[in-house]
Amino acid sequence: MLRPADRLKSLLDNFIEQERYGDNPETLYTPLHYIMQLGGKRLRPMLVLMGYQLFGDHPEKILSQALSVELFHNFTLMHDDIMDNAPLRRGQQTVHEKWDNNRAILSGDVMLVRAYDYLIRGKAELSHELVSLFNDCAAAVCEGQQFDMDFEKKEEVSEQEYLGMIRLKTAVLIGYSLELGAALGGDHDNRQYLRDFGINIGLGFQLKDDLLDLYADQDKFGKQIGGDIISRKKTFLYITALAQGSETERSSLKELYSTRCKLSDEARVKDTRNLFDQLGVREKTEERIAQYFEKAFESLRKIDAPLNRKSLLKKFTENLIGRQQ
């Protein structure tokens, strides 16, 4: 017998599997179907369904809206991968690697258009509110991505700047997913708590991604190990190391991240990891992750919804927190 979360995931996967977003020209839609069929955790549409189930019944009524969030998320991934020159996504070739940049850009664009289609499908009475919520979230994600790119050119990025960037780029979409579900479920009183829950979970997840980028098992992670170091991204690990290190260690780390560094990517990743290990960066990052997750669960406890429904969301999140990939 399937657990409640597994039933929701099966419902969602079956719906996504049967959807067609367009067929002609095939060159436009094939990359879209490709990235949507790569699967993944589908965390964000699952959170839409779980936010809805706190207050409403029959989650099959909002599958289109849940799919709209997954389409938008994959649109951002497709474009982010181009900007990062990333070779892998979910263990497979990224769209721009499998085809080319132009097709990835245009296929991503049409994904965004289709996201709007699914968002308002069957919800004409809520369309203004739904589009307004979506636009606020989408603009924040774009702002976060621009900050992320800007930071690559800065000599130093403060912890506050970095956390603000990931809040926009990653966490706001998690909060929006839950808030969208609550809005579709007819709730008006708990959305702020759900948004805060999602944002703090999102911050914790992003810091965990920063950690896994370097410390995960390559076979399980599905992305290039040390990709953030290779791309010279100033993640929480890098910022923490700069704050903790001696002048010599800071100088060494900056040299490893410099475009002047002559070491191979493999050697840069190895030397950077050694520095992080010396400075206890992994442990400090894990402490901060735990703080964000605890803050999130404080918000969850304030939500006025049946305990059994809140327990489903709590258990689902706890399982994700423990992931190693």
Q: Tell which CATH architecture fits domain 4-321.
A: Orthogonal Bundle (1.10)
The residue to which tokens 């951002």 are assigned: 76
pLDDT of residue 325: 44
pLDDT of residue 193: 96
pLDDT over 60 (residue 324): no
pLDDT of residue 222: 57
Look at residues 215, 218, 19 and name the one whose alpha carbon lies nearest to residue 115: 19
Question: Residue 129 in 3-state DSSP?
Answer: helix
Please state, for a pLDDT cut of 70, what percent of the chain lies above it.
96
Count other Cβ atoms within 10 Å, centred on residue 262.
Answer: 7
pLDDT of residue 88: 81
Q: What is the mean pLDDT of the chain?
A: 92
Strands 88-89 and 92-93, sheet pairing: antiparallel
Where do runs of H (alpha helix) occur along the chain? Answer: 4-18, 26-36, 43-53, 63-84, 95-98, 101-120, 127-151, 159-166, 172-184, 191-215, 218-221, 227-230, 236-244, 247-257, 265-278, 281-302, 307-321
Domain map (residue ranges) of the chain? 4-321
Please state, for a pLDDT cut of 90, what percent of the chain lies above it.
81
pTM for this entry:
0.90
pLDDT of residue 44: 96
The per-residue b/e assignment along 129-150, b for 16 or more CB within 10 angstroms, e otherwise, is: ebeebbeebbebbeebbebbee
**pLDDT tens-digit profile of 152-173?**
888 889 999 999 999 999 999 9
